[in-house]
């Protein structure tokens, strides 16, 4: 029997969009891991990045704006045998989904969260997102933040994320290594992927990031939380990329053994009478 592999279909993204490199890299990583496509679920909310699950030959779920994480967590709890990967944008995850972003970190469910961060809302043609740069004289003609920019990596580390990383869609080799490590990590893993929007963000371009991104050197200790928080605050002329923070901590599955014994929740037998009685309790 021929081994099943992951492939992609034609997309609706603009030519030159950073999402293409993210899609191609993820396909390569999934094929390298050799997890069967039927055991992978790709989850998205609303936005250009959230369309990714529609372009891959795996299970997919498209939810409401900002609501990808609750769906992904529910899928993992129902069937912990699945590899669950969320792909969303910075607006979807850090704006509409900001509350879910914070509190699902605290649960440490074993899912992977890839945020395609182009610092704008791309689907709706360029409004400022939480990660847009602050407004100044250089931003007269593009989206910018009148409020302080949101720092997702610093927030994630501070609220207990056990894997926090940043990569760049313009460096596919680096991105593949980070994606692979994030998927293999046991617990919630966040990868903020710098992904230029060629149509609506004329400031944070490929050239802009090429000049600034700098991989963490080999002496960097990813288990040092305070050092990781300092690295998370570096975002300017130099932008560090790599695994900023990683620790091993009990996952939600390990903390709730009654839900995750030898039988996945989705396969457990529940009598119709018991379900009927449960429903009656809410009527």
Look at residue 32 in the predicted model and tell me its pLDDT.
95
Average pLDDT over residues 248-252: 95
Q: What is the CATH number of the domain that holds 88?
A: 3.40.50.970
Look at residue 138 in the predicted model and tell me its pLDDT.
62
Q: Is residue 257 part of a domain?
A: yes
Average pLDDT over residues 149-173: 97
pLDDT of 120 > 80? The answer is: yes
Average pLDDT over residues 5-14: 87
Q: Is residue 36 part of a domain?
A: yes
Question: Per-residue pLDDT tens for 36-88?
Answer: 999 999 999 999 999 999 999 999 999 999 999 999 999 999 999 999 999 99
Q: Is residue 180 part of a domain?
A: yes
* Residue with the larger pLDDT of the pair 170 and 1: 170
pLDDT of 2 > 70? The answer is: no
Pairing of strands 239-246, 163-168: antiparallel
Look at residue 139 in the predicted model and tell me its pLDDT.
58
pTM of the model: 0.92
Domain count for the chain: 1
Domain range spanning residue 248? 18-281
pLDDT of 160 > 50? The answer is: yes
Q: Is residue 2 part of a domain?
A: no
% pLDDT > 70, the chain: 97
Contact 193, 117 (CB under 8 A): yes
Average pLDDT over residues 191-202: 94
Question: Per-residue pLDDT tens for 253-271?
Answer: 899 888 777 788 888 888 8
Look at residue 1 in the predicted model and tell me its pLDDT.
47
Look at residue 261 in the predicted model and tell me its pLDDT.
72
Look at residue 231 in the predicted model and tell me its pLDDT.
97
Average predicted confidence (pLDDT) for the chain? 92
pLDDT of 168 > 60? The answer is: yes
Q: Is residue 7 part of a domain?
A: no
């Amino acid at each position: 029997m021929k081994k099943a592999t992951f492939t992609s279909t034609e997309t609706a993204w603009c030519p030159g969009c950073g999402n293409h490199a993210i899609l191609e890299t993820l396909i390569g990583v999934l094929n390298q891991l050799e997890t069967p496509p039927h055991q992978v679920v790709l989850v998205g909310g609303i936005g250009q990045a959230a369309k990714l699950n529609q372009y891959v030959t795996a299970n997919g779920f498209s939810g409401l704006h900002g609501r990808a994480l609750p769906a992904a967590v529910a899928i993992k709890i129902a069937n912990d045998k699945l590899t669950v990967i969320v792909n969303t944008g910075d607006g979807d995850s850090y704006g509409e989904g900001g509350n879910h972003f914070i509190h699902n970190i605290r649960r440490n469910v074993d899912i992977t969260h890839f945020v395609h961060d182009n610092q704008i809302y791309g689907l709706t043609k360029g409004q400022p997102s939480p990660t847009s740069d602050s407004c100044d004289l250089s931003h007269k003609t593009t989206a910018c933040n009148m409020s302080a920019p949101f720092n997702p990596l610093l927030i994630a580390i501070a609220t207990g994320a056990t894997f926090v990383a940043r990569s760049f869609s313009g460096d596919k080799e680096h991105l593949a290594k980070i994606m692979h490590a994030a998927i293999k990590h046991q617990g919630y893993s966040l990868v903020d992927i710098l992904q230029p929007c060629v149509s609506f963000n004329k400031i944070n371009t490929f050239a802009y990031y090429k000049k600034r991104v700098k991989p963490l050197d080999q002496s960097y200790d990813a288990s040092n939380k305070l050092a990781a928080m300092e690295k998370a605050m570096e975002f300017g002329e130099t932008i560090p990329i790599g695994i900023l923070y990683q620790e091993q901590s009990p996952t939600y599955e390990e903390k709730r053994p009654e839900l995750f014994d030898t039988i996945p929740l989705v396969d457990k037998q529940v009598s119709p009478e018991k379900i009927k009685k449960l429903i009656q309790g809410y009527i």
